[in-house]
Amino acid sequence: MASWLADLTYSEGRFQRGLGIACKESGDISGLIPAGDIGPEVNRLTNRALLPGLVNAHSHAFQRVLRGRTEHRTRNEKDSFWTWREMMYSAASRLSPEDIYDASRMSFLEMALSGITAVGEFHYLHRAPDGREYDDPNLLGKAVIRAAQDVGLRIALLRVAYARAGFEVEPNPQQARFIEPDSESYLNNLQRLRSDLAGTPARAWAGVAPHSVRAVPLEYLKTIAGYAGDNGLPVHMHVAEQPAEISACIQEYGRSPVALLASEGLLNERFTAVHAIHVTPKAVQSLAAAQAMVCACPTTERNLGDGVVPADLFLAGNMRIALGSDSQAQIDLFEEARELEYHLRLQKMERAVLAPDDSRSGLAARLFACATSSGAASIGAKGGTLEPERPADFFTVDLDDPAIAGASAEDLLTAIVFGASRSAVRDVVVGGRQIVSEGRHADQEEIVKRFAHLQKSLWG
């Protein structure tokens, strides 16, 4: 049984001294125990603060190949999510299964280096570039899972359902890799994936992910949501990310996306609305009443010009908010957490918008929960907190890192959430096994080298 001891350990909402973590052979925590009760075989993490692992609830791992490639004006009169999407399609159509593995492994490496221990992968690349189904319809999903496992992360493969380009929209050849035309095909492939993952339920599992109202017709959506309910699976869906999505939904169904989901009984505690930017107070009430969650991705949302997630309204409704790196424009959940607050400060021209009270650490604790326990709840993981019988998933920060040096135990969480970057992260442990030591991953050089080769071959 391994044990770990840092200078400070974040437990029960505060940093505590002299508190170690004892792990079982299974990789779960057996207990948090005083330093004096820990045996001689302890992994001492000197000058470190130890925190529960971060959970990235919304990722498109392959989109890491786009970083730095879309930051220019196109010939369109107005650049937006929709023009960016065309460039994304161009990349997606040219990736082989091994390319997807290499791109995903690069994303997951960056996640590990930043303290992320589990990821919800919103995966929609299923077919060959010409739309042909592989002999194994989950070939590409398994490449992504293999990448996560090789890096050492837990992964929820949120298998995306995608049936059409949109309501009364002609088929888009660039979406050929996404399409599974009916719910029967989708569920057969999902069940096959679940069976293949049955041997590693704590490390990799599947969830249901109807892409959006525009991409999945209502009856298809209801069928797969029913399957998720019968099997207790998480359901993730892009909801109200773009005004055009809302207009199309009203044209087709006479209701907004949230109103449609609510009226059809599709919202519940396992449902996560990804983005949920363009929502009304009534829509927020519907989501809150169903105990649904929201996953915000502030870095991507600002990169694409999507808008600002109304996190204040969601939190006022006692909703949980998870965080995601989405398009991988940046992979840093500290940044996602602080921008959830900072975007509202710009919009409202006031400070501490999301603070639950006037305590010194209340705001930071609320944002940190978004990056940990709320993310875990969203993707169906057991981590996100340091408690007995929970996974031994955690990371450390260097107390002498320039971004947080000098912070007291009382102010340290605030310094980390609002000031630290991933360079402060020194150790990462998943299931009691160390995957990052002194800020480096054992396979880092090889992963980076292969990704650099992919970028050269993809972009010339």
Tens digit of each residue's pLDDT (9 = 90 or more) over 306-322:
999 999 999 999 999 99
**pLDDT for position 305:** 92
Instruction: Please identify which residue in the block is written with the tokens 């082989």.
Output: 96
Is the Cα dihedral 83, 84, 85, 90 positive or negative?
Answer: positive
Do 372 and 337 contact (CB within 8 A), yes or no?
Answer: no
What region, left, alpha or beta, does residue 67 occupy, with left being phi > 0 and alpha being psi -120 to 50 degrees? beta
Residue 1 pLDDT exceeds 70: no
Do 177 and 125 contact (CB within 8 A), yes or no?
Answer: yes
**Lowest mean per-residue pLDDT among 36-45, 46-55, 318-327, 412-421:** 36-45
Domains and CATH numbers, the chain: 3-52+385-444 (2.30.40.10), 54-379 (3.20.20.140)
**More confident site: 421 or 266:** 266
Mean pLDDT, all residues of the chain: 96
The DSSP-derived string for 173-214 is GGGTTT---SHHHHHHHHHHHHHHTTT-TTTEEEEEEE--TT
Largest CA distance in the chain: 68
Residue 76: CB partners within 8 Å, gap ≥ 6?
A: 83
b/e per residue 200-220 (b: at least 16 CB within 10 A): eeebbbbbbbbbbbbbbbeeb
Instruction: Show the tokens assigned to 289.
Output: 């009443």
Do 56 and 120 contact (CB within 8 A), yes or no?
Answer: yes
According to DSSP, the β-strands at 394-398 and 321-323 are unpaired
Angle, helix 183-196 to helix 139-151, in steps of 10 degrees: 30
C-alpha to C-alpha distance for 2 and 30, rounded to whole angstroms: 10
| Residues marked as catalytic | 275, 326
**pLDDT for position 84:** 83
C-alpha to C-alpha distance for 246 and 109, rounded to whole angstroms: 36
Residue 77 pLDDT exceeds 90: no
Q: Look at residue 209 and give its three-state secondary structure.
A: strand
Residue 220 pLDDT exceeds 70: yes
Residue 247 pLDDT exceeds 80: yes
Residue 70 pLDDT exceeds 90: no
**Lowest mean per-residue pLDDT among 9-23, 25-39, 185-199:** 25-39
Tens digit of each residue's pLDDT (9 = 90 or more) over 86-103:
888 888 999 999 999 999
Give the residue from 268, 274, 172, 167 showing the smallest Cα distance to 217. 167
Report the pLDDT averaged over residues 6-23.
Answer: 95
**Local confidence band at 254 (pLDDT 50, 70, 90 cut-offs):** very high
Give the residue from 55, 46, 109 showing the smallest Cα distance to 396. 46
Instruction: Please identify which residue in the block is written with the tokens 């808008």.
Output: 307
Residue 129, judged by CB atoms within 10 A of its CB (0-12, 13-18, 19+), counts as: middle
Residue 14 pLDDT exceeds 90: yes
**Adjacent-strand bridge partners of 437:** 440
**pLDDT for position 79:** 78
Secondary structure element (H or E) that encloses residue 88, with its range: helix 81-92
Report the pLDDT averaged over residues 111-140.
Answer: 97
Report the pLDDT averaged over residues 151-171.
Answer: 95
Residue 75 pLDDT exceeds 90: no
C-alpha to C-alpha distance for 335 and 370, rounded to whole angstroms: 12
According to DSSP, the β-strands at 43-52 and 394-398 are antiparallel
What does each C-alpha distance from 173 to 86, 90, 170 come to in angstroms?
11, 11, 9
